[in-house]
């Protein structure tokens, strides 16, 4: 897929595409009066129902595709646009239309971004394991942007960076576990750090993890022939970003992402049933998502300090595997009895949360395909999240909404906390019947003090076994965009609060007492 953003149609198009979303995108300025009437009658017809989506009609003697963007139930209008753009791109490629002109002169920037992402999503395929790779027909989309050309070009650059991160996430997740071992993941992260200005990397191997007391990784990873690793990626936008340098401002926030990175989860000695095992190639989705998000954040040079901790291990069966009943001491000094070797994600995350504290996190967001209970509770379309800070929780919901990613707030229910207590150790790694809550309460025991923390359980949303929205079978890339948006909003919020502080200091505005 190629895009070409122009102010007026070049005349090179083989077909025109008109988006219809409750008339929020108009196109009267580009059509003849006669054609406008024709469009009007088609749109009225669409309201009545019989209209076929993506139908080709002759308008102004041009083949024109009408894209009905309000088809799917439960989606926001931005998501409808994305879906519609995805369907359009698939159809145009299938019909081998070389150039499609999309009339977007009246679109709002966020509508344009959503459409672009829909086109990008249509381009994704994962055929690395097919014996023959099929080349999809390449369509060029000419975006007619009117006076918004310059603005749209900037948005297109941002969308391309975000799409690259989504593609990276999906590729890592879809790669099978013998090909993406913890060491291979580290290789990928090293390459990314090398080629992303401003991004630094620290890698701890088994020996270093053990020496420094990151025993969650050691406990989970020791049963595998592939040793565990913990990666810490750091980007300081308050120093390296051009924008921040220009403004000479530093936000005090340090946003740290922590990702569960089980390159495979057999369940360990508490072996999983065969049916639910193949999907466990996706048990490193959290780590893939935080790696891709920090890469995009650094590339976008957002003026904020962000780090990403990837907790990598393989939960395998071997003669050194952790035994049910074994007790280890976690990095923060608490002792943990391994009641169930399949509840391994929370063990490696205890190290990730400790590392976030050691590097000075003010805000932590952890992402983990943590519990089957979350899949049963919310399915594949909504991620449940737990949060100890109201402002951060609201931010997560709002950022998710802006990115067409749905989040539902779940309770850190204290009444269930006693169920985590063990006879011998301080804690055990299983709890009450409310499995997703029990896991979150366990993690909370390892959150550094005075730190805003959100835990996203993406077990349902990270990987789908049937096609969903603009994703085929496999990884969805869920979470990448919301993480980037969170960093974006936190950086601009710190800009705004500093603006306010500066104005106060200058005495420009009188302080109003309430």
The set of residues, in sequence order, having a beta carbon less than 8 Å from that of 150 and lying 6+ positions away, is none
Instruction: Please identify which residue in 189, 298, 373, 447 interacts with ligand BES, judged by CB under 6 A.
Output: 373
Q: Does 375 bind ligand BES (CB under 6 A)?
A: yes
Q: Is 283 in the site for Zn ion (CB under 5 A)?
A: yes
Number of residues that bind ligand BES (CB under 6 A): 17
Report, in Å, the least distance between residue 455 CB and ligand BES.
Answer: 14
Q: Which of ligand BES, Zn ion, none does residue 220 bind (CB under 5 to 8 Å by kind)?
A: none
Stretch that binds ligand BES, among 22-30, 134-142, 179-187, 369-377 (CB under 6 A): 369-377
Give me the half-sphere count of Cα atoms (radius 13 Å) on the Cβ side of residue 130. 7
340 binds, among Zn ion, ligand BES, none (CB under 5 to 8 A by kind): ligand BES
Structure tokens at 127: 């055929």
CB 428 within 8 A of CB 341: no
Note the Cα 401 to chain centre separation in Å: 12
Let me know if 164 is a catalytic residue. no
Whose Cβ is closer to ligand BES: residue 65's or residue 220's? 220
**Residue 340 CB, nearest approach to ligand BES (Å):** 4
Residue 142 contacts Zn ion per CB under 5 A: no
In the DSSP assignment, the letter for residue 303 is S
For the segment 376-435, give every residue that binds ligand BES (CB under 6 A). Answer: 430, 435
Selected binder of ligand BES within 79, 342, 351, 485 (CB under 6 A): 342
User: From the CA atom positions of the chain, what is the Rg in Å?
Assistant: 25
> Is 265 a binder of ligand BES (CB under 6 A)?
yes
What is the residue whose two structure tokens read 């907790």? 311
- The span from the CA of 484 to the CA of 297, in Å, is 6
Mark 370-382 as b/e (b = at least 16 C-beta within 10 Å).
bbebbbebbebbb
Q: Give the residue with the Cβ less far from Zn ion, 236 or 283.
A: 283
Q: Which of 383, 380, 379, 374 is nearest to 408 (CA)?
A: 383
Spot the catalytic one: 91, 346, 406, 488.
346
Within 213-333, residue ranges assigned H as helices are 215-221, 237-240, 242-247, 285-299
Query: How far is 185 from 204, CA to CA, in rounded Å?
Result: 13
The Cα 417–Cα 397 span in angstroms is: 25
Closer residue to Zn ion, CB minimum distance, 265 or 366: 265
- Interface mask (CB under 6 A) for ligand BES, residues 293-332, using x and -? ----------------------------------------
Looking at the Cβ atoms of 76 and 465, the one nearer to Zn ion is: 465
Examine the residue annotation and report whether 346 is marked as an active-site residue of this protein. Answer: yes
Least separation in angstroms between residue 352's CB and ligand BES is 15
d(C-alpha 314, C-alpha 262), whole Å: 5
Query: Which is nearer to ligand BES, 38 or 340 (by Cβ)?
Result: 340
Q: Which residues inside 185-244 make contact with ligand BES, applying CB under 6 A?
A: none
CA distances from 34 to 59, 67, 329 (A): 9, 20, 77
| Other C-beta atoms lying within 10 Å of the C-beta of residue 119 | 26
- Smaller CB separation from ligand BES, 228 or 448: 228
Q: Which residues bind ligand BES (CB under 6 A)?
A: 265, 279, 283, 340, 342-345, 369-373, 375, 430, 435, 459
Binding residues vs Zn ion (CB under 5 A): 262, 265, 283, 342, 344-345
Known catalytic residues are 272, 346
């Amino acid at each position: 897929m190629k895009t070409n953003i122009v102010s007026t149609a070049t005349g090179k198009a083989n077909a025109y595409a008109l988006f219809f979303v409750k008339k929020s995108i108009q196109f009267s300025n580009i059509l003849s009066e006669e054609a406008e009437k024709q469009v009007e009658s088609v749109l009225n017809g669409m309201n009545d129902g019989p209209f076929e989506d993506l139908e080709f009609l002759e308008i102004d003697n041009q083949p024109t595709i009408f894209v009905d963007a309000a088809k799917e139930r439960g989606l926001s209008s931005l998501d409808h646009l994305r879906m519609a753009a995805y369907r359009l791109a698939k159809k145009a490629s299938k019909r081998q239309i070389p150039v499609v002109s999309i009339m977007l002169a009246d679109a709002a920037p966020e509508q344009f971004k959503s459409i672009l992402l829909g086109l990008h999503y249509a381009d994704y395929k994962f055929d690395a394991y097919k014996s023959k790779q099929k080349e999809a027909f390449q369509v060029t989309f000419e975006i007619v942007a009117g006076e918004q050309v310059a603005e749209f070009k900037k948005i297109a650059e941002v969308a391309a960076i975000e799409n690259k991160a989504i593609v990276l996430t999906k590729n890592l997740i879809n790669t099978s576990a013998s090909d993406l071992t913890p060491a291979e993941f580290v290789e990928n992260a090293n390459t990314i750090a090398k080629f992303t200005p401003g991004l630094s990397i620290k890698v701890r191997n088994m020996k270093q993890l053990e020496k420094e007391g990151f025993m969650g990784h050691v406990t989970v990873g020791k049963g595998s022939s592939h040793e565990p690793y913990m990666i810490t990626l750091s980007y300081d936008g308050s120093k390296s970003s051009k924008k921040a340098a220009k403004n000479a401002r530093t936000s005090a926030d340090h946003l740290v992402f922590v990702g569960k990175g089980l390159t495979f989860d057999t369940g360990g000695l508490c072996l999983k049933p065969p049916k639910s095992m193949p999907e466990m190639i996706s048990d490193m989705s959290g780590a893939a998502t935080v790696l891709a998000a920090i890469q995009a954040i650094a590339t976008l040079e957002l003026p904020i300090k962000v780090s990403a901790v990837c907790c990598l291990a393989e939960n395998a069966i071997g003669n050194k595997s952790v035994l049910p009943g074994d007790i280890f001491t976690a990095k923060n000094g608490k002792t943990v009895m391994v009641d169930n070797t399949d509840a391994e994600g929370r063990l490696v995350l205890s190290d990730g949360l400790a590392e976030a504290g050691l590097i000075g996190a003010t805000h932590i967001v952890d992402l983990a395909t943590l519990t089957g209970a979350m899949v049963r509770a919310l399915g594949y379309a909504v991620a449940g999240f737990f949060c100890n800070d109201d402002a951060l929780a609201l931010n997560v919901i709002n950022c998710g909404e802006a990115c067409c990613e749905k989040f539902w707030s779940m309770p850190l229910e204290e009444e269930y906390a006693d169920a985590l207590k063990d006879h011998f150790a301080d804690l055990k790694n299983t709890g009450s019947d409310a499995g997703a809550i029990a896991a979150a309460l366990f993690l909370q025991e390892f959150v550094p003090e005075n730190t805003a923390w959100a835990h996203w359980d993406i077990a349902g949303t990270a990987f789908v076994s049937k096609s969903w929205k603009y994703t085929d079978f496999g990884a969805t890339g869920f979470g990448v965009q919301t993480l980037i948006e969170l960093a974006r909003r936190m950086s601009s919020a710190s800009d705004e609060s500093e603006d306010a502080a500066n104005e106060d200091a200058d005495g420009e505005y009188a302080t109003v007492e309430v």
